[in-house]
């Protein structure tokens, strides 16, 4: 028998990403977010939910761009710190977390060098949802460490070892084993195919 739970935006697991921007005086800032998702294929876009009060949101409004950086499971402590501390109160929080930055090649936002996957995005659209703004960025460039890619240029999630968030229990976890091949294993159930 199933039980009823309270109405929350419950989906799990969730990705853990670091949204990086430049603030005043070109100081790098980054915040941890888990409400992030691809939201369009052509042009390629990614959306992320950010509270109105966050320095990151202010920076995106000014610079009209940001980066999404994918931390690994080994970077859980530094990633959590970036979500706990405000860039308004701790302007050097990115370096304090142990991250080094480099300027993105297309947009005016920092890349977090230690993250093996970085995505440059230009502001495309935003939607005020209430306590959060859904910010949509158009992908301008993707940078991937060679050691996380396959021979045919795709990301190997096992090698990436991304940090995954479980809301409710508030835990970071690793991804597990491959179960089957997507867009393939279900073909056995298709009639006449």
pLDDT of residue 191: 74
* 7 assigned to some structural domain: no
Q: Which domain holds residue 154?
A: 14-189
Residues 10-55: pLDDT tens digits? 899 999 999 999 998 899 999 999 999 999 999 999 999 999 999 9
Q: What is the CATH number of the domain that holds 101?
A: 2.30.110.10
Residues 101-130: pLDDT tens digits? 999 999 999 999 999 999 999 999 999 999
* 2 assigned to some structural domain: no
* 114 assigned to some structural domain: yes
* 9 assigned to some structural domain: no
How many structural domains is the chain composed of? 1
* 4 assigned to some structural domain: no
Q: Write down the pTM of the prediction.
A: 0.95
Residue-by-residue DSSP string for 71-125: -BGGGHHHHHHHHHS-TTT-TTHHHHTT--EEE-SSSSSEEETTSSEEEEEEEEE
* 111 assigned to some structural domain: yes
């Amino acid at each position: 028998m199933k039980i009823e739970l309270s109405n929350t935006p419950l989906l799990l697991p969730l990705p853990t990403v670091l949204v990086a921007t430049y603030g005043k005086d070109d100081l790098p800032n980054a915040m941890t977010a888990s409400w992030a998702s691809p939201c369009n294929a052509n042009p390629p876009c990614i959306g992320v939910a950010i509270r109105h009060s966050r320095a990151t949101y202010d920076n995106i409004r000014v610079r009209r761009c940001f980066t999404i950086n994918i931390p690994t499971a080994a970077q859980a402590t530094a990633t959590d710190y970036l979500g706990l501390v405000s860039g308004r109160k701790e302007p050097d929080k990115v370096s304090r977390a142990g991250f080094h930055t480099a300027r993105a090649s297309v947009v005016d936002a920092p890349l977090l060098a230690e993250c093996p996957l970085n995505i440059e995005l230009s502001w495309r659209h935003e939607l005020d949802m209430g306590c959060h703004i859904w910010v949509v960025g158009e992908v301008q460039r993707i940078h991937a460490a060679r050691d996380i890619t396959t021979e045919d240029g795709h990301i190997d999630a096992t090698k990436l070892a991304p940090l995954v968030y479980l809301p409710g229990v508030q835990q970071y976890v690793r991804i597990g084993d491959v179960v089957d091949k997507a867009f393939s294993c279900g073909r056995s159930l298709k009639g006449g195919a």
